[in-house]
């Protein structure tokens, strides 16, 4: 992606505004929708190309199902009673967490060792390994860019705002404050809402931008549901902010929606900034 400069906007497309075996094994990489609900074969008895660790090396971690990722953390399955492979035990954990009707991954995000140890086959070592891995993933995702980092991509802005917005259970509205060279000066939560709605007035947003001495701003809010599709209210507010930015001479570089470990850039996915150029 390019920089956040606006002078070459006409030449850019939307989304560029930020600046030895005889028979080789065949790995099936796209298995992310499988549930592994039927087999209890030990992992070491599986064909090599079906083992989670080997598939991760061959195809990448993103290609593994949640059950396979958990299996790598577990290391072993259950060898007594109802025997389960590590993969099948991983799927059993997900099924147990989803019993109340919630998404298994949503439940996994906030699960405690005590809750995991209520599941047959999960004792202290396995439970703490899973929770530690989840916490490490959260910390990596929420690691903020250093002060004065150049924000030249929506992902950098999302990372800067992630700690304030990503995993919150109520809507929040926040801003990333930048200098004329698009270097990060800081972030600020402007308002708190309910689980489904937040309110932020353009006056409050630009007052904080001016107060902090910023010359560029990126606004963002979260959707606790994880659904990143902008609402009509989100689009209307963005139009108001773009108009205010033009009047004040403080460019609004983007409006991000964060949730469930992902983000959406309205600059990349709408024509609102193009309309301003026109």
What integer pLDDT is reported at residue 122 of this predicted model?
A: 96
59 versus 143: the higher-pLDDT residue is 59
What is the pTM (predicted TM-score) of this model?
A: 0.64
152 and 245, same domain (yes or no)? yes
Q: Are residues 204 and 258 in the same domain?
A: yes
Same domain, 179 and 255: yes
* Total number of residues shown for the chain: 278
| Predicted pLDDT at 57 | 96
Tell me, yes or no, whether 131 and 147 share the same domain: no
Domain of residue 59 covers 43-140
Do both 136 and 175 map to the same domain? no
Q: pLDDT value at position 76?
A: 92
Last residue of a domain, one of 140, 162, 197: 140
On whether residue 23 sits in a domain, the answer given is no
Does residue 198 carry a pLDDT above 50?
Answer: yes
- Encode pLDDT of 104-134 as tens digits: 988 898 899 999 999 999 999 999 999 999 9
- Rounded CA gap, 45 and 75, in Å? 14
Cβ atoms of 269 and 154 within 8 Å: the answer is no
User: Is 212 inside a domain boundary?
Assistant: yes
CATH code: domain of residue 211: 3.40.140.10
| pLDDT exceeds 60 at position 22 | no
Residue 55 counted as domain residue: yes
200 falls in which pLDDT band (50, 70, 90)? confident
* Residue reference for tokens 């497309």: 13
pLDDT of 40 reads 54
Whether residue 58 is found in the same domain as residue 164: no
Question: Last residue of some domain: 140, 174, 189?
Answer: 140
Angle at 227 between CA 223 and CA 230, to 5 degrees: 75
In a domain, 76, yes or no: yes
Write out pLDDT tens, residues 24-62: 556 667 665 555 444 456 778 888 888 999 999 999 999
> Which of 108, 140, 172 is the C-terminal boundary of a domain?
140
- Rounded Cα–Cα distance for residues 210 and 202 (Å): 12
CA-wise closest residue to 207 among 165, 162, 183, 177: 177
Residue 12 lies in a domain: no
Does residue 174 share a domain with residue 226?
Answer: yes
Which of 191, 173, 179 has its CA nearest to residue 238?
173
Q: What is the pLDDT of residues 221-230, one digit of tens each?
A: 999 988 999 9
- Please give the residue that has the higher pLDDT: either 53 or 9: 53
Question: What is the C-alpha separation between 109 and 131, in angstroms, rounded?
Answer: 9
The angle at the Cα of 59, spanning 57 to 64, to the nearest 5 degrees, equals 95
What single-letter DSSP state applies at residue 145? P
Look at the chain and report how many structural domains it folds into.
2
How far apart are alpha carbons 31 and 12 in whole angstroms? Answer: 36
DSSP 113: H
Given the structure tokens 């030990």, which residue do they identify? 42
pLDDT average, residue stretch 155-164? 93
Q: Which residues is 260 bridged to in the sheet?
A: none
Q: Are residues 134 and 174 in the same domain?
A: no
Angle at 55 (CA atoms; ends 53, 59), nearest 5 degrees: 130
pLDDT of 87-107, one tens digit each? 999 999 999 999 988 789 888
Residue 164: what are its φ and ψ, rounded to 5°?
A: -80, -25
pLDDT value at position 79?
Answer: 77
Contact 49, 182 (CB under 8 A): no
DSSP 184-231: EEEEEEEEE--SS-----HHHHHHHHHHTT-SEEEEEEE-TTS--PPP
74 and 156, same structural domain?
no
Indicate whether 181 and 273 sit together in one domain. Answer: yes
- Nearest-Å Rg of the Cα atoms of the chain is 23
**Is 132 within a domain?**
yes
182 with 215, same domain? yes
Cα separation, 273 vs 251, in Å, equals 11
Q: Is 257 found in the same domain as 236? A: yes
205: confidence class by pLDDT, cuts 50, 70, 90: very high
């Amino acid at each position: 992606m390019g920089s956040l400069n606006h002078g070459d906007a006409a030449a850019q497309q939307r989304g560029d505004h930020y600046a030895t075996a005889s028979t080789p094994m065949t790995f099936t990489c796209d298995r992310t929708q499988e549930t592994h609900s039927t087999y209890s074969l030990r992992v070491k008895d599986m064909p090599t190309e079906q083992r989670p660790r080997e598939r991760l090396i061959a195809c990448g971690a993103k290609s593994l199902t949640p059950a396979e990722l958990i299996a790598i953390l577990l290391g072993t399955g259950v060898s007594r009673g109802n025997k389960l492979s590590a993969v099948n035990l991983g799927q059993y954990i997900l099924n147990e967490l989803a019993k109340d009707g919630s998404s298994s991954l949503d439940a996994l995000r906030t699960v405690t060792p005590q809750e995991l140890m209520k599941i047959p086959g999960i004792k202290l070592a396995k439970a703490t390994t899973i929770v530690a891995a989840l916490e490490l993933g959260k910390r990596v995702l929420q690691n903020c860019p250093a002060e004065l980092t150049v924000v030249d991509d929506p992902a950098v802005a999302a990372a800067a705002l992630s700690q304030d917005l990503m995993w919150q259970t109520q809507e929040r509205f926040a801003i990333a404050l930048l200098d004329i060279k698009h270097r990060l000066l800081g972030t600020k939560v402007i308002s708190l809402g309910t689980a489904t709605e937040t309110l932020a007035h353009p006056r409050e947003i630009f007052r904080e931008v001016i107060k902090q001495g910023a010359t560029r701003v990126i606004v963002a809010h979260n959707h606790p549901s994880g659904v990143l599709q902008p609402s009509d209210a989100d689009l209307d507010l963005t139009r108001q902010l773009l108009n205010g930015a033009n009047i004040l001479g403080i460019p609004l570089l983007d409006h991000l929606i964060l949730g469930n470990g992902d983000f959406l850039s309205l600059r990349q996915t709408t024509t609102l900034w193009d309309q301003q150029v026109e």
